Chain A
């Protein structure tokens, strides 16, 4: 539309009142199939718990891996005054002691439920250069839709849609994962972060626990992930939580959590963002860079 001259600016927005509206928990009960509630299968958490369980059977993963994601992201949220969990530290012991919701997921493996919204504007690089803020330039995009009916899915332990969507985006951008300075990964549940990074090629199947070890994704880490706190610890605004954070980081507007000297991390030249839908049934990758 921009290239064709049909419009100059596209506003992409998302808003929800999921927290205050308190929609019934069985609202999303039909996510596996029409008869899911017959067997007591409710909520997206059950589908992702099944995916995580299958992953535990397929390669080396589990709570020791996911804990590092939950605790690491919380450290970013503690630097973000807008995060729902800004004032709530989270320790390894807090994670271990938390009750199961749908096993293998404990409380802190689950994303938040939030009121609010996010928006971003897409325009040409040329127009963006005249605007008040420095632009985040789209380097690469990819999408993939691997599964029709989730019960029949054989991809829940990977490769998910992230494999092909990621390859498309990296090819378009002309880079590899080594060139990425930070990642903003769709994190409805901790396991989604692990399998997405694994499918992008940041580490091999089952190597996640070692890769996350030592604060890799935390402030000061060598590959910061979900620098706003993400959906686990900032807010849940679907794909706009990761994408808008990637844009804000590249613009340099993130205050205490800003990548670079403020958080002892690399200056963000290139940030990789992801989104997924269903139970790992669709995937989108966007690679952004500084102008």
Chain B
């Protein structure tokens, strides 16, 4: 059966990120001028406005910046997951990433809690970076 949930829509800017995910790597742009690591991807560094950039692979560790627990179904395909947790994770390299916290009861999750990436292979093209409490 086809994966029933929405899939990413890579753009010219975000394609390297999703290609990295396919290989279970979290890739972000790093400014070679001021070393700021950024998300979402962009042509220019939002800190120093230079265009010189390289893609780095993040270590996949971070902490929960904030989160929300869905108790109401907004999309049929997520109904079976209720209650599920969406979160913004602050990665060690700096960027904040919207994701899910899995493998943990929602009422155990706290801001500041250490988490690490885990991969969900959802289709031929896509693997989704999700996060679980650091073991």
A residues contacting B by CB (< 8 A) are 25-26, 29, 32-43, 46, 49-51, 53-54, 56-57, 99-104, 148-149, 151-152, 156
Q: How many Å lie between the Cα of A33 and that of B7 in the bound state?
A: 13
From A39, A46, A51, A53, contact of B99 by CB (8 A) = A39
Q: Does B35 contact A (CB under 8 A)?
A: no
Closest 9 CB pairs of A and B: A57-B111, A42-B74, A103-B69, A54-B66, A49-B68, A37-B6, A100-B71, A50-B66, A41-B86
Q: Assuming A35-B8, A41-B86, is B71 touching A152 (CB within 8 A)? A: no
From B66, B83, B98, contact of A57 by CB (8 A) = B66
Q: Does B45 contact A (CB under 8 A)?
A: no
Which residues in B have their C-beta under 8 angstroms from that of A38? 5-8, 128
Asked if A26 and B99 sit within 8 Å, CB to CB, the answer is: no
From B39, B69, B97, B112, contact of A102 by CB (8 A) = B69
From B68, B95, B111, B128, contact of A152 by CB (8 A) = B95
Asked if A151 and B6 sit within 8 Å, CB to CB, the answer is: no
- Closest chain B residue to A57 by CB distance? B111
Q: How many Å lie between the Cα of A100 and that of B68 in the bound state?
A: 11
Q: How many Å lie between the Cα of A40 and that of B99 in the bound state?
A: 9
Max chain B C-beta neighbours (<10 A), residue from A49, A50, A156: A50
Asked if B9 and A25 sit within 8 Å, CB to CB, the answer is: no
- Closest chain B residue to A148 by CB distance? B46
Q: Does B29 contact A (CB under 8 A)?
A: no
Which residues in B have their C-beta under 8 angstroms from that of A34? 9, 11, 14
Asked if A151 and B84 sit within 8 Å, CB to CB, the answer is: no
Q: Assuming A25-B74, A101-B72, A102-B68, is B98 touching A39 (CB within 8 A)? A: yes
Q: How many Å lie between the Cα of A51 and that of B81 in the bound state?
A: 22
From A32, A53, A101, contact of B98 by CB (8 A) = A32
Q: Assuming A50-B68, A50-B88, is B74 touching A151 (CB within 8 A)? A: no
Q: How many Å lie between the Cα of A22 and that of B103 in the bound state?
A: 35
Q: In chain B, residues 91-123, which have Cβ atoms closer than 8 Å to a Cβ of chain A?
A: 95-100, 106, 110-112
Q: Assuming A57-B66, A101-B72, is B81 touching A40 (CB within 8 A)? A: yes
Q: How many Å lie between the Cα of A163 and that of B88 in the bound state?
A: 24
Q: Does B65 contact A (CB under 8 A)?
A: yes
Asked if B75 and A37 sit within 8 Å, CB to CB, the answer is: yes
Asked if B40 and A40 sit within 8 Å, CB to CB, the answer is: no
Which residues in A have their C-beta under 8 angstroms from that of B74? 25-26, 29, 40, 42-43
Q: Does B70 contact A (CB under 8 A)?
A: yes
Which residues in B have their C-beta under 8 angstroms from that of A33? 40, 98
From A35, A42, A53, contact of B67 by CB (8 A) = A53
With both chains docked as a complex, state the minimum distance between the C-beta of B120 and any C-beta of chain A, in angstroms. Answer: 10
Q: Assuming A54-B111, A57-B66, A152-B95, is B5 touching A40 (CB within 8 A)? A: yes
Asked if B110 and A40 sit within 8 Å, CB to CB, the answer is: no
Asked if B71 and A101 sit within 8 Å, CB to CB, the answer is: yes
Which residues in A have their C-beta under 8 angstroms from that of B83? 100, 103
Q: Assuming A38-B6, A39-B99, A101-B72, is B40 touching A149 (CB within 8 A)? A: yes
Asked if A40 and B70 sit within 8 Å, CB to CB, the answer is: yes
